[in-house]
Amino acid sequence: MLEMFQKLFTFIIQMTPGTKRGFWKWWYNVFAARANNSDFKFMNYGYYEDRFFPNISPDDENERYPIHLYHHVATQVDISGKTVLEVGAGRGGGASYVTRYLNPACVRGIDISKTAIELCNEIHKVPNLFFTEGDSENIPFKDEEFDIILNVESSHCYGNMEKFLNEVKRVLKPDGYFLWCDLRAGKDRELISNQFQNSGLEIVQEKDITKNIIIALDKMSKKRKSAIQEKVPFPIRKIFESYAGVKGSKIHNSFINGNLIYLSAALKKLY
């Protein structure tokens, strides 16, 4: 059953850009509605690096490795005093972390899922942090409005990466930065590099962080698997374990064997 679902899942999301966008919008609306625990603020695969251990409060310790991923991406440049837009805010934990720890002037988070945005506004009450429903391929802000665009483990859901990058360039101020990380099929490594090169933005750095993701997933697997066993009906647990990257799952194994890779990057708008 699991193998059949995964094949159907892959077929559906790769049919057309519109189908892909529609599927993920539906999925995250459902996910936000069903998993509305306010203690669960992140959905990413985490990040681990030797001697990389940001100082966080005990209240945030529960989601340390997902926080590490945001810290790794958002500190590629100094964002203190900057206006920040997160595209694909999810459950809002990353935008909250960036606002509370990295001293930006303000952070706005958008997500295509109305339910996710409602959840963000309910559980995050932080000064200078705002959430609005919005589409990555039609960002609802004026030209040259932000110093920083942040995009964490979200763009693989988009129908048209080139259109998203055009929108990023449009809403960035000159000398602004696009800070990004996400997973891709191993065979698409050159494709994403070409998309960046053709975006009109200058690539400042691009890094393969797959090993860092694998270690973080290994460290989080026991806890994630336990939560899934507690809350998810038995027939679909394996599907959720794979979605969560639990050790031994299809997603986890795909990172190990190279079928999936995980990259981070910083790009700059020069004009």
Q: What is the pLDDT of residue 110?
A: 98
Judged by average pLDDT, the poorest of 64-78, 114-128, 146-160, 227-241 is 227-241
The amino acid sitting at 193 is: S
Q: Which residue has the higher pLDDT, 209 or 240?
A: 209
The residue to which tokens 């159907």 are assigned = 8
Q: Which residues contact 137 (CB under 8 A, 6 or more apart)?
A: 21, 158, 159, 160, 163, 164, 167
For the chain, the average pLDDT equals 89
Q: HSE, CB side, 13 Å, CA atoms: give it for residue 100.
A: 16
Tens digits of per-residue pLDDT, 18-64?
Answer: 555 555 555 555 554 445 555 567 889 999 999 999 999 999 999 99
Q: Is the pLDDT of residue 92 over 70?
A: yes
* pLDDT number for residue 40: 60
pTM over 0.85, yes/no: yes
Show the domains of the chain with their CATH numbers: 24-80+133-268 (3.40.50.150)
Q: Please name the residue ranges forming H helices in the chain.
A: 2-13, 17-34, 64-74, 93-101, 114-123, 161-171, 189-197, 210-231, 237-243, 250-257
What confidence score (pLDDT) does residue 233 get? 81
Closest CA to 126 of 155, 145, 106, 102: 106
C-alpha to C-alpha distance for 167 and 137, rounded to whole angstroms: 6
3-state SS class at 77: coil
pLDDT at residue 181 above 60? yes
Identify which has the larger pLDDT, 226 or 168: 168
Q: C-alpha angle with apex 265: 211 to 62, nearest 5 degrees?
A: 55
- Distance CA(269)–CA(271), nearest Å, equals 6
Q: How far is CA 176 from the centre of its chain?
A: 20
pLDDT of residue 41: 77
Residue-level pLDDT at 237: 81
